[in-house]
Chain A
Amino acid sequence: MTDPQRTPPAPPIFAVRAAKRAAWAVGGEKILEALVYLCGFSAIVFVLGIFIFVFKEALPVLTRENFSLAEFLGSSDWYPTSESNKRYGVFAMIAGTVAVTVLAMVIAVPFGLGAAIYLSEFCGQKTRETLKIVIEFLAAVPSVVWGFIGLTVMSRLIVQFTGAQVGVNVLNGGLILALMSVPIIVSISEDALKAVPDSYREAAIALGVTRWQLVWRVLLPAAKQGLLAAVLLGVGRGVGETMAVLMATGHAVHIPHSVLDSVRTLTANIAAELGEAPAGSDHYRVLFLTGVLLFTLTFGVNLIADTIVRGIRRK
């Protein structure tokens, strides 16, 4: 292409230009990349798989003449093993789930939020590191251990202090669930508070406000969305939690009238009865239908929470 006389002195070696990757290296890379893609797509397969398998097991009961979805959701008659008058109404369980979750949130949100504010605004580096480790530990305690704590420690305390007949009730479940959902509330709230620009803080402090006012007037309004997401994730956790509420709330299938009533939640109901329901029976299928209900519920809650969290991270 060029005049040979103009060709400059060539660099001493051309090893790289002559080099070729070994066939096995190229092939291996192709296979690995295929595997990476496959694993990436697997998440969709699993989520769909979960929905399909759970729904598939529940489906036959939906087509039964004597089964109505309205009764399933609206009635609190739950007589799955009755000889003559089988009834499958989960309203009492829904009420139980709502009662326990709401109570847990009422306890956990202020404390979680307060702890998050303390972590991000008031305490020093060292305290923060230590507290974070404790919170991580709190999040890692298995739910069956929480259930055990509810059953042994908490129930005794409740009987002692409230004079209730039994210690396993809404209050117990709510307290346990509150302790369980505090870590997630703290960590998401802390993220949200961190996302508030430091310039806000500096501006407020320059104006001479107290830190109390800073928190109340500046940080909380600015971090509102994140705090909402934290609460939603806490709700998701509360609705889905199984073992702890199974052990701590008692086993009474009825609508609670006070926090000292025993209840049964949707999750606990499945855990308690799935072992006894013969595979393929209506009872078994109704339990799967409860699973579909739970799946849909947590799906919605987590989706909303995630949309909010993403919005914050983008800021």
Chain B
Amino acid sequence: MNALPASSRFTETPAVRRKLRQEALAKWIFCAMAAAMVVPLLLIVGYLVVRAAPSLNLEFLLEVPKRGMTEGGIWPALIGTLYLVFISLAVSAPIGILAAVYLNEYARDNWFNRVINLAVINLAGVPSIVHALFGLGAFVYAARFGYSIISASLTLAIMTLPVIIASTREALASVPRSFREACWNVGATRWQTIKAIVLPNSISGILTGVILQVSRAAGETAPVMFTGVVFFKSVERGDLLPYYLNEQCMALSMHLYTISTQVPGVQPSIPFATAVVLLALVVIVNATAISLRVYLRSRKKW
């Protein structure tokens, strides 16, 4: 195979060598830039976990805050966050999914639907503090829900709605149009087509989008701090149903804000542990969404 002499044309000239060096340099520079966001994140998370270590145990999750929130655990905040997340998603997921079905399957391309699209985009861009103002004006005062779990959840629901609409639309659009046409050809109505073909084959994407909103709803502070979440609420240790829906509650995100800025003399590991719990929630939620995506991609039907 080596019968041919190495052609002089393909040996490295200084120019080629310079080119290769530049190539490698470019790769490393961009790699470093990517690393510049990943590495600090990992370092910070590591630091938080180390600082939180003394408080990280099951007792911390189940215990209520004690001595003016300077000691104890986070149970009331944890359970309050669960309340807020589930109620808000129970409201926003059905509305968001149906709205996406409308936009993707029913809406014709006219000015009215372009306005709806515009509204969805702008809804997604509204700052969370403006959502808080809206929740305060609309749910707390105008609808007379008062400062309550229901007001806070509805505010969160409207905030998560546009993202659910966007992710659902993407999932629906991934079902090929030829399937729909095949159904229409045999006399299926739009809804029969959606029910039999479109929804079953996009449900994984839809669910992933909704699940990702769990961490968003759990982490938001501004929209709930003026609509129904309080600094402190007395709750029994480990009580699963401590709140009524017309009451105020505690929430993890708000709790972290409170003990790290408003309460003096907190045992130092507690705020770190609270932050780590919030981060852990995010990791769990994202991991669930990713594994769901991978699992359902593996059994794709076409």
Q: Which residue numbers of A lie inside 8 Å of B, CB to CB?
A: 29, 32-33, 35-44, 46-50, 53-54, 56-57, 110-115, 117-119, 121-123, 131, 133-138, 140-145, 147-149, 151-153, 179, 182, 210-212, 215, 236, 239-243, 247, 267, 270-271, 274-275, 279, 287-288, 291, 294-295, 298-299, 301-303, 306
Min CB distance B296 to A, Å, is 16
Min CB distance B17 to A, Å, is 12
Bound Cα distance from A212 to B27, whole angstroms: 8
The 10 closest A-B pairs by CB, nearest first: A142-B219, A40-B102, A114-B33, A240-B127, A302-B125, A39-B98, A118-B30, A212-B26, A53-B137, A115-B34
Interface-centre pick from B101, B222, B283 (highest chain A CB count, 10 A): B222
Given A43-B165, A46-B123, 4 further pairs, Cβ under 8 A: A50-B123, A50-B134, A140-B285, A151-B261
The answer to the question of B82 belonging to the interface, with a C-beta cut-off of 8 Å to chain A, is no
Within 8 A of A (CB), among B74-119: 94-96, 98-99, 101-103, 106-107, 115-116, 118-119
Question: Given A141-B279, A212-B25, A298-B126, are A37 and B102 neighbors across the interface (CB < 8 Å)?
Answer: yes
The answer to whether A142 touches B253, judged by C-beta atoms less than 8 angstroms apart, is yes
Contact of B275 among A33, A148, A215, A288 (CB under 8 A): A148
Min CB distance B213 to A, Å, is 10
Min CB distance B263 to A, Å, is 13
Min CB distance B178 to A, Å, is 21
Bound Cα distance from A271 to B31, whole angstroms: 38
The answer to the question of B271 belonging to the interface, with a C-beta cut-off of 8 Å to chain A, is yes
Contact of A46 among B19, B127, B161, B219 (CB under 8 A): B161
Min CB distance B160 to A, Å, is 12
Contact of A242 among B40, B101, B127 (CB under 8 A): B127
Question: Given A56-B137, A140-B286, A275-B225, are A119 and B102 neighbors across the interface (CB < 8 Å)?
Answer: no
Min CB distance B188 to A, Å, is 11
Bound Cα distance from A19 to B128, whole angstroms: 53
Bound Cα distance from A44 to B44, whole angstroms: 40
Bound Cα distance from A114 to B107, whole angstroms: 39
The answer to whether A242 touches B119, judged by C-beta atoms less than 8 angstroms apart, is no
Bound Cα distance from A182 to B256, whole angstroms: 24
Residue contacts A-B, CB under 8 angstroms, 28 given = A36-B106, A39-B99, A40-B99, A50-B158, A56-B137, A112-B37, A114-B33, A115-B37, A118-B27, A131-B34, A137-B41, A140-B285, A142-B218, A142-B219, A142-B221, A145-B256, A148-B257, A153-B48, A182-B37, A210-B26, A215-B26, A239-B127, A242-B129, A274-B133, A274-B136, A291-B130, A302-B122, A302-B125
The answer to the question of B220 belonging to the interface, with a C-beta cut-off of 8 Å to chain A, is yes
Residues from chain A with a CB closer than 8 A to the CB of B133 are 53-54, 57, 270, 274, 287-288, 291
Bound Cα distance from A47 to B127, whole angstroms: 12
The answer to whether A142 touches B278, judged by C-beta atoms less than 8 angstroms apart, is yes
The answer to the question of B228 belonging to the interface, with a C-beta cut-off of 8 Å to chain A, is no
The answer to whether B191 touches A47, judged by C-beta atoms less than 8 angstroms apart, is no
Min CB distance B44 to A, Å, is 6
